[in-house]
């Protein structure tokens, strides 16, 4: 009955690109396009940054914090730095993200953020009862030169006076300094990884067999896939900053207790025991390695900084390392999954081989994806690494040497430069985030979305791209994009 009525009611038609206009083979570029003067194309030669493919440092620290159980980031800055980030989380994950702001106004700009921090921490503790608060600084508080440690000490003192000493046991604190003018969200995550371990981890003297993992900006689906592999390996492990059950949670209705906290997240206790770990792995060299290295320096826990386990080679590398350090053989079930991925690659090689592909995104994603597309026989052409990264560059060049290709690497550039290159020399396929939609439309080249951020398609945060099974899903995404584009209306193509 209801469906009938819906069908009868016609809505105001929407504008959009019609199927006809989407057909390939039409002349690219809009008629009003004026090419830029060539000397202004490279971002390094410009003062102006157009369409950056990176965002600000506090964002990374907030991401990490939201992967901790009952943890709230407290952003020491004006309200925009928080609200924009809440918006970004809400768009990517479609989940509530509780992030508090110090609400800087004129007085804070003049006198500093002492009052804001002291009052803010108190309000947060007494209204939300978090287990952990990460104080995340911003450009403003860093320019003003807020002395966070002394503010925090004052806040604790005041709270003890007001509520009694028990209040001090309620909440742990971590301070992360993230002035955005000194790095991007990738570096923000990196710093958070280090500061969390520095503030929380201890060594009890009783070494454990546990393996620790710092995932970087892996999505909930990826984290689940990672855990699945480690379970098959039969090792005991902890994933730090585990957003899988904080930013992808079931709808259950009104909880017994409000404020609502998502059920998951890494426990503070897990951070505390990190000093006893058998080994620590950073699965994103640029987002998290600082934490792993610090732990190894402080407590001599062996640290392994590996490329993101995306594709055959990278996943092999992770599993071999895990197998070596834990002394457990790689089980048959894992080999089975690997075989399925290889089977899928062989099945589809006619679609992927020699296809030219451009990539854009965060360094760890792009470096790992470059290796995967090379494994598929594709040829990377223009690679945009949104945040300048030496480790990503090294990994990309190593891959390219192995597979004998010579892409143009734009390390730390903006999308303007990369898109200009694509307009001159369109690839067959683009691998990038949602902000690559415009160029994909303009040059009529299909876009396969991956990495951060994907907000204009549904379910990408749940669908893994790491591990063998994730690789198989990612491959399917790539091949289907090619099929949709090159055979859009070919009903006979079976």
Selected catalytic residue, list 56, 75, 136, 139: 139
Please report, as residue ranges, which positions from 422 to 441 form the binding site for other proteins (by CB under 8 A): 435, 438
Cβ contact 419:439 at 8 Å: yes
Q: Which residue's CB is nearer to ligand SF4, number 142 or number 472?
A: 142
Cα angle 355-415-370, degrees, rounded to a multiple of 5: 35
User: Which of 21, 33, 84, 329 is the binder for ligand SF4 (CB under 6 A)?
Assistant: 84
- Residue 249 has phi, psi (to 5 degrees) of -125, 150
Q: Which of 148, 82, 86 is nearest to 121 (CA)?
A: 148
User: Which of 65, 140, 201, 315 is the binder for other proteins (CB under 8 A)?
Assistant: 140
Pairs from 455-460 (Cβ < 8 Å, separation ≥ 24): 455/88, 455/91, 455/92, 460/219
Half-sphere exposure of 40 (CA within 13 A, CB side): 8
User: Which of 22, 42, 50, 152 is the binder for other proteins (CB under 8 A)?
Assistant: 50
Q: Residues with Cβ < 8 Å from 73, sequence gap 6 or more?
A: 58, 61, 62, 65, 66, 99, 100, 133, 134, 136
Provide the sign of the torsion angle of the four alpha carbons 226, 227, 228, 232, taken in this order: positive
Q: Which residue's CB is nearer to ligand SF4, number 139 or number 292?
A: 139
> Between 64 and 83, how does the x/- string for binding to ligand SF4 read (CB under 6 A)?
-------------xx-xx--
Closest contact distance (angstroms) between CB of 422 and other proteins is: 17
Q: Which residue's CB is nearer to other proteins, number 77 or number 309?
A: 77
Q: Does 84 bind other proteins (CB under 8 A)?
A: yes
User: Which of 180, 389, 411, 415 is the binder for ligand SF4 (CB under 6 A)?
Assistant: 180
Closest contact distance (angstroms) between CB of 48 and other proteins is: 4
Residue span binding other proteins (CB under 8 A) among the ranges 52-60, 399-407, 425-433, 463-471: 52-60
Q: How far apart are CA 329 and CA 200, in angstroms?
A: 33
Pick what 46 binds: other proteins, ligand SF4, none; C-beta below 5 to 8 Å, kind-dependent.
other proteins
Cα angle 317-318-324, degrees, rounded to a multiple of 5: 90
CA 449 from centroid of its chain's CA atoms: 13
Q: Does 47 bind other proteins (CB under 8 A)?
A: yes
Q: Is 139 a catalytic residue?
A: yes
In the numeric block, which tokens belong to residue 111? 């006198």
Q: Does 443 bind ligand SF4 (CB under 6 A)?
A: no
Please report, as residue ranges, which positions from 199 to 218 form the binding site for other proteins (by CB under 8 A): none
Cβ contact 192:134 at 8 Å: yes
Pick what 63 binds: other proteins, ligand SF4, none; C-beta below 5 to 8 Å, kind-dependent.
none
Q: How far apart are CA 370 and CA 434, in angstroms?
A: 18
Q: Does 58 bind ligand SF4 (CB under 6 A)?
A: yes
Please report, as residue ranges, which positions from 129 to 148 form the binding site for ligand SF4 (by CB under 6 A): 138-139
C-alpha to C-alpha distances, 292 to 186, 222, 303, 447, nearest whole angstrom: 15, 20, 6, 34
List contacts with ligand SF4 (CB under 6 A).
Answer: 56, 58, 77-78, 80-81, 84, 138-139, 180
**Active-site residues: which are they?**
139, 143
């Amino acid at each position: 009955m209801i469906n009938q009525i819906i069908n009868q009611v016609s809505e105001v038609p929407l504008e959009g690109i019609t199927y006809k206009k989407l057909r390939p083979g039409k002349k690219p570029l809009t008629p009003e396009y004026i090419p830029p003067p060539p000397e202004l194309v490279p971002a390094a030669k410009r003062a102006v940054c157009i369409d950056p493919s990176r965002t600000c440092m506090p964002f990374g620290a907030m991401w990490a914090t939201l992967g901790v159980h009952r943890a709230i980031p407290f952003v020491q800055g004006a309200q925009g730095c928080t609200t924009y980030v809440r918006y970004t989380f809400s768009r990517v994950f479609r989940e509530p993200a509780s992030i508090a702001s110090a609400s800087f106004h004129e007085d804070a700009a003049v006198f500093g953020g002492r009052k804001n921090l002291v009052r803010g921490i108190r309000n947060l503790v007494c209204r939300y009862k978090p287990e952990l608060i990460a104080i995340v600084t911003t450009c403003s508080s860093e320019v003003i030169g807020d002395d966070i440690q002394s503010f925090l000490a004052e806040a604790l003192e005041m709270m003890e006076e007001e509520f009694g000493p028990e209040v001090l046991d309620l909440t742990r604190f971590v301070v992360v300094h993230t002035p955005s003018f000194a790095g991007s969200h990738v570096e923000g995550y990196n710093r958070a990884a280090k500061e969390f371990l520095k503030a929380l981890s201890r060594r009890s003297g009783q070494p454990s067999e546990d393996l620790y993992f710092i995932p970087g900006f892996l999505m909930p689906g990826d984290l689940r896939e990672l855990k699945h592999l480690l379970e098959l390996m039969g090792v005991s492990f902890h994933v730090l900053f585990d957003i899988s059950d904080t930013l992808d949670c079931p709808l259950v209705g009104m909880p017994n207790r409000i404020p609502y906290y998502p059920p998951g997240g890494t426990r503070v206790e897990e951070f505390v025991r990190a000093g006893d770990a058998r080994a620590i792995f950073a699965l994103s060299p640029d987002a998290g390695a600082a934490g792993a290295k610090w732990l190894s320096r402080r407590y001599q826990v062996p640290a392994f900084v590996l490329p993101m386990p995306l594709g055959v080679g990278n996943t092999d590398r992770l599993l071999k390392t895990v197998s070596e350090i834990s002394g457990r053989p790689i089980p048959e079930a894992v080999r089975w999954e690997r075989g399925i991925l290889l089977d899928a690659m062989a099945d589809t090689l006619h679609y992927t081989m020699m296809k030219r592909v451009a990539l854009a995104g965060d360094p760890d994603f792009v470096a790992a994806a470059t290796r995967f597309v090379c494994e598929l026989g594709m040829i990377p052409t223009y690679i945009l690494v949104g945040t300048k990264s030496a480790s990503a560059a090294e990994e990309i060049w190593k891959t390219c040497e192995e597979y004998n290709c010579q892409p143009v690497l734009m390390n730390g550039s903006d999308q303007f430069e990369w898109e200009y290159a694509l307009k001159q020399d369109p690839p067959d396929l683009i691998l990038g985030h949602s902000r690559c939609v415009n160029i994909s439309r303009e040059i009529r080249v299909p876009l396969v979305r991956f990495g951060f951020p994907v907000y204009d398609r549904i379910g990408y945060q749940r669908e893994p791209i790491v591990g063998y099974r994730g690789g198989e899903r990612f491959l399917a995404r790539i091949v289907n994009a090619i099929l949709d584009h090159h055979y859009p209306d070919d009903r006979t193509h079976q």
